[in-house]
Copies of this chain bind each other. A is one copy, B any other.
Amino acid sequence: MPYYKDTDIVRYSDKGAEHISDIVVEEYPLTLFLEGREFVTLLCSPEDFGYLVTGFLLSEGFIKTNEDIDSMRIDKDKGIAEIELKGGSILAEKLYGTRTITSGCGRGPVFYNVKDSIDTQGLDKDGLKIGYQTIAKLMKEFDGRAIVFKKTGGVHSCALGTGEGIEIYHEDIGRHNAMDKVLGHAVQKNLNFGECIALTSGRISSEMLIKAAKRGIPVIASRSAPTVLAVELANRLNITLAGFVRGRRFNVYSGFNRIK
């Protein structure tokens, strides 16, 4: 399915009204059924549904590896993904328990809970070290790939890279979806998260930071700004957070020890 659509619009300016055709980005509702029960609708770009669903289940704690998924059936026309998990009943219990549903339904990830993040294990201080040049170089490559954004001005991009360059790259109208697609793709490729740098075009909020932390990704970098809560969590979890990466210049907010 295409990411965007030609649309008849009217462009107004001091020269008057002009009827033209312009490209507009698609927004697609994908409803997930887990163990036969409807539980969430994701508004996403209509591509890489398999990666999105896998990454979403990972980020929300329903699976730990790709192997935990017993089957996944995606009906693009109906906008439905049906997922069966191994050991489904235990997970379904977790999902449908009153406490989880009522505390977690947020505007960000569905089962978001700030307390969760405190339980997330911190990263090893003696792990990955990276050079200043690596972050600048990766962000340059990342920016160069922003194809849909340049066409439509309407999507976020996320990636995972190493010192060698970008390994996985995805775009989506939602910044959480873009990150989940990258994470879902990465587990399917068996990527070693501990050696990766996560890149995002959007703001680094607590939710984005927690997604990286839960996978054990030691560095997250953005073209945009972080929030105070994300910086506090990054400090606590020993994650290196870099913001406003633009050209050969950026700010580091936490995990200074990793930068060589």
Contact = CB atoms under 8 A, between A and B. Distances in A.
A191 B9 CA distance: 30
A108 B252 CA distance: 30
B27 A228 contact: yes
B225 A106 contact: no
A43 B207 contact: yes
A106 to B, nearest CB: 5
B10 A205 contact: no
Q: How big is chain A's contact interface, by range?
A: 35 or more
A251 B135 CA distance: 37
Contacts of A38: 102-103
Interface string A5-49: 101011111100100001011111101000001111111000000
A13 B248 contact: yes
Number of copies of this chain that the complex holds = 2
A88 interface: no
Nearest to A224: B153
A225 B22 CA distance: 11
B106 A41 contact: yes
A197 to B, nearest CB: 14
Given A13-B248, A153-B224, A154-B224, A229 B26 contact: yes
Interface in A210-226: 224-226
Q: Which 10 A-B pairs have the closest CB atoms?
A: A27-B227, A154-B225, A27-B229, A13-B249, A153-B225, A10-B252, A105-B105, A41-B106, A9-B251, A26-B228
